[in-house]
């Protein structure tokens, strides 16, 4: 069954789309803090790549919205990024003035986490887990 799935099924997520007010200004922020590469810029969208793969598409929004939803009365992210160096990344982002959670949460067997927001208010989770292949 698994072989058939691999031959005909979904292989993963290609990229995620984010609503932003100014695609070029927000792209500069992602390049500065994460080293993403800008590709395929157009008037109303562009792609951010990492290690030769698409990660995010920034789309110029026409309403005041974010890629965040509410769960139990609190904002919740829709994207979790993976890292092998959560403490280094957290410290870097905090030193650069990024809006990060006050600390890294260690959830034992589930791994370590922290959250951050981009300039447009999009909310993200960052996860480190030693048993999750990158």
DSSP 34-97: H--EEES--SSEEEEEETTEEEEEEEE-SSS--SEEEETTEEEESEEEE-S-HHHHHHHHHHTT
Query: Where in the sequence of the chain do the CATH 3.10.180.10 domains occur?
Result: 66-133
Q: What is the pLDDT of residues 2-17, one digit of tens each?
A: 666 667 677 788 999 9
Q: What is the pLDDT of residues 72-129, one digit of tens each?
A: 999 999 999 999 999 999 999 999 999 998 899 999 999 999 999 999 999 999 999 9
Assigned CATH for 66-133: 3.10.180.10
Question: Is it true that domain 14-63 has CATH number 3.30.720.120?
Answer: yes
Q: What is the pTM assigned to this prediction?
A: 0.88
pLDDT at 131 over 90: no
Query: Where in the sequence of the chain do the CATH 3.30.720.120 domains occur?
Result: 14-63
Tell how far CA 19 is from the center of its chain: 13
pLDDT (mean) for 56-66: 96
> CB neighbours (10 Å) of residue 108?
6
Q: Is residue 16 within 8 Å of residue 120, measured between CB atoms?
A: no
Q: What is the pLDDT of residues 8-51, one digit of tens each?
A: 677 788 999 999 999 999 999 999 999 999 999 999 999 999 99
Phi, psi of 101 (to 5 degrees): -55, 150
Name residue 16's beta-bridge partners: 56
Q: What is the pLDDT of residue 1?
A: 54
């Amino acid at each position: 069954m698994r072989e058939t799935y691999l031959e005909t099924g979904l292989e993963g997520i290609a990229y995620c789309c984010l609503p932003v007010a100014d695609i070029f200004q927000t792209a500069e922020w992602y390049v500065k803090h994460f080293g993403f590469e800008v590709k395929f810029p157009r008037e109303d969208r562009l792609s951010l790549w990492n290690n030769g793969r698409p990660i995010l598409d920034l789309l110029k929004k026409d309403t005041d919205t974010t890629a965040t939803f509410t769960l139990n009365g609190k904002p919740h992210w829709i994207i979790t990024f993976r890292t092998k160096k959560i403490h280094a990344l957290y410290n870097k982002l905090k030193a650069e003035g990024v809006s990060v959670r006050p600390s890294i949460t260690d959830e034992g067997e589930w791994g370590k986490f922290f959250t951050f927001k981009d300039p447009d208010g999009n909310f993200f989770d960052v996860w480190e887990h030693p048993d999750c292949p990158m």
